[in-house]
Amino acid sequence: MKSYGPYILPQIGSLREMTDLRVKDNPDGIAFFYTGNDGSIVTKTYRQFSDDVNAVGTYLYAHNFREGSHIALLGVNSYEWLVTFFAIANGGNVALPMDARQPMENIIKLCANGDCAALAYSEEFAAAIPAFRSNLSDIPAADARGFVDLPFTSFDEWVSEGAKMIDAGDTSFIDHKINVDDMCALVFTSGTTGIPKGVMLSQKNIAANINQACKNFVLEGNGLSPLPMHHMFGLIVGHLMVFNYNKPCYIVRNIRNLMKDIQIAKPECLFVVPMIIETFAKQFKVMAKRTGGQLTPEQVQAMTGGNLRFIICGGAPLSAMYVKMFRQFGLEILNGYGITECSPVLAVNRNEDMCDGSVGPVLFGCEVRISDEGEILAKGDNVMLGYYRNPEATAEALQDGWFHTGDLGKIEDHYLFITGRTKNLIITSSGENISPEELEEKVLADPAVAEAIVYDVDDVLAVQIYPEKEAGAPAEYFQALLDRINKGEPVYRQLKKLVLRDEPFIRNSTGKIIRTQIKGDM
């Protein structure tokens, strides 16, 4: 398709400025809505959100969390989580969003590595607080109080106390002058290899990416993202970009209720990872079997709330076959690409400018080029400050003003294509470079394949396949599939070894397959 210019929206310089603009333009408009514990729909206006952020921020200031305190956030998606994140960031403190699906010992270790002696958490994690207290009370970042726990069950008290302080004349939090270049979020990468690194993001980084993303995509209805808020794609694109568009954002508190939530929210756009797309595709197939034929666009619309037009997908590679499948039902999947270090988005297919198989045009305001080695390099205000207490890794990633993503790609006709990861690159004894993702894409194009990973064993290419159970294909079918793929490949790129798995691959919190498990399986 032909490229066109950016969508125009007022530019923001910080999270506070974004909130202030929404309060000025639409104070009584719905910012967030969700299903409460009693099943009723709870709505929060832009004015209410702003007031709650100021109240919680004032409460934190009064309890000596000010200008530099590191506070971890551990919990399921909630309005309380969002308010607390803003209250931490807008007070000059640093929020550490934690992946709640990790083992508790990992989270405690990340808190210690992130100089964090305070934790805001949802009630599901109350039982783990003694372990946090025993491990974090004596770290250098702790003050005389030791470890401080801030349960979201006390959220209403925080708001009430903070509001009373403001009414009594305490404007210390509200008057705090934000330095947009200071770190406001410390996000540990989930990665598929290696030890998590702490990505330092500033308000300038986050605001820049919200501005950039809003220039590439226009939202005209409700937004919904089931992704966890600790995930930067879920937080910044799935919630904050929707907020910046002055559109209602539905908060999914439990992903098990996703289809019910979609019926309630009636979104125009979903923000998801490929694993959710794959789940939808399976549900569509089940529905087709039940109805005895092909699903119609009207049936799919009925399943997805009636207003759904776009699904923005990122976080992991997505097969182009899903884009074509969903288009048959009137749903446009806009595949994108990002990385936590870039706050996170670098490219996304647009409302009227898309190319199947690509991750779309680079965002306006970002610079992307391909190195001589084929690596994607990025530059812009959205690029991180660096890695926390890791100057060596920072120097390796940021060279001459360019961030080295570690991803391989190419740009064709203004569209960015991802071809693999530098860390996953297979180098044969003859010196040939092979991107396993390119071969995996060919294997995954077969409907009998649910998951696949290509790797090397003693200089021979192998593939592990987890079959699509409903297909019921025998082993001979998959060997024939490899034979067909190999016919179009030079000898060094041919798949010589086949392993069929009984269980799906282990994935990280963004849905990416953890490749290090392959060597463990061997």
Quick check: 304 pLDDT over 80? yes
The answer to whether the beta carbons of residues 28 and 22 sit under 8 Å apart is: no
Percent of the chain's residues with pLDDT above 70: 97
| Residues 169-216 pLDDT 10s | 999 999 999 999 999 999 998 654 457 899 999 999 999 999 999 999
Contact 347, 365 (CB under 8 A): no
Return the pLDDT at 430: 67
| CATH code 3.30.300.30 region(s) in the chain | 426-521
pLDDT at residue 522 tops 70: no
Torsion angle, alpha carbons of 133, 138, 140, 144, to 10: 90
Every domain range in the chain assigned CATH 3.40.50.12780: 15-24+43-178, 207-384+409-421
- Reported as type and span, the H/E element at residue 500 is strand 495-500
| In the predicted structure, residue 7 carries a pLDDT above the cut 70 | yes
Q: Is the pLDDT reported for residue 387 higher than 50?
A: yes
Q: What is the mean pLDDT of residues 256-280?
A: 95
Q: How large is the angle between the packed helices 79-90 and 46-62, nearest 10 degrees? A: 60
Q: Residue 484 above 50 pLDDT?
A: yes
- Residue 476: is its pLDDT beyond 80? yes
**Is CATH 3.40.605.10 the right assignment for the domain spanning 426-521?**
no
Candidate CATH numbers 3.40.710.10, 2.40.280.10, 3.40.50.12780, 3.30.43.10; the one for domain 207-384+409-421: 3.40.50.12780
The pLDDT confidence band at residue 459, using thresholds 50, 70 and 90, is confident
Mean pLDDT of 403-410: 95
pLDDT in tens, 101-159: 888 988 999 999 999 989 999 999 999 999 999 999 999 999 889 999 999 999 999 99
Q: Tell whether the model's pLDDT for residue 359 goes beyond 50.
A: yes
Residue 520 predicted with pLDDT over 70: no
What number is the average pLDDT over the span 360-379? 97
Q: Cα–Cα distances in Å, from 231 out to 236, 260, 271, 343, 450?
A: 8, 22, 12, 10, 25
Query: Looking at residue 191, what is its pLDDT?
Result: 52
Model pLDDT for residues 34-77, shown as the tens digit of each residue:
999 999 999 999 999 999 999 999 999 999 998 899 999 999 99
Average pLDDT over the chain, rounded to an integer: 93
pLDDT value for 192:
46
What count of other Cβ atoms lies within 10 Å of the Cβ of residue 521?
11
Q: Would strands 198-202 and 402-412 be described as parallel, antiparallel, or unpaired? A: unpaired
Question: Quick one: average pLDDT of 334-355?
Answer: 96
Segment 416-451, tens digit of pLDDT: 999 888 888 887 776 777 889 889 989 999 999 999
Q: What is the pTM of this model?
A: 0.88
Tokens 């060094």 locate to 492
- Multiple choice CATH, 15-24+43-178, 3.40.50.12780, 3.50.50.60, 1.10.10.10, 3.90.1150.10: 3.40.50.12780
- Whole-angstrom Cα Rg for the chain: 23
